Structure 1
């Protein structure tokens, strides 16, 4: 399984990315989306552009695929904060272990069938924003500090309540 650091390094050494970055010097690292459900792992690395769109690079074992810039889904008009790789001390494996421990001890009936993981910079800091979806159609969201590995926020709710927001 590729680590986030390995995926970022693979991206930064990719010819297509180097050309793109020369043409988009003001764009900055904004997030890393990880999908662990497939054979292996899919990693999407997003760069925020000056117009607040995101250009995403899908990193696979064999290649790097760039997507066209897309509008960002966000809750308010706050700018997208840059993600600093140097401040990410906690590994994905450690964050997932913390999330699993939290789920098993506090929410044992909410066994996850799907996990969404985004490494991003939010107003509370740089976090692994991990969301579990359970068979009972409940979500458990945990924001785990990328520096210390501590859970900064956790929230469990049913899809019915999420849909009402």
Structure 2
């Protein structure tokens, strides 16, 4: 257990202390937009979702998401040009769950997000609900604060770390709702 925690802390520290890289597009640092998949963590030091700029680990099912990386080298999961685009896709999916399917509890959302045939959905829903300060069966509001907490909880559960600053996550959420 200590090695897992130390590994996650090390990955988070690595991401937090990296120098800025030359930029293209939106944002002022690497976290907002890059011309292709990040290569600084391609050695496997960071979780797959972080390496792919897809912190929600959205499976590639053919949706032409905004902000996809030019090269899709992961055989299962989307790769985005920068984390803001992966966060946008995550938030957009949550928005669709609420608006199109009426999913408004952690249990309902996570049961669709991470089906029981592949995941420990009960544990995942409890973790997300705990991050929101509720239980898995309680209605989750659609406020900006709740959206932020929900997205952060999913990123944390999917990757074991949540390395992104709130302003980056809020930018991704804003893009999902505009």
TM superposition score category, shorter chain reference: under 0.3
TM-score, normalised by the number of residues in structure 2? 0.26
Question: Which protein has greater RCO, CA pairs closer than 8 Å, 6+ apart?
Answer: 2
Bigger strand share = 1
Q: TM-score, normalised by structure 1?
A: 0.27
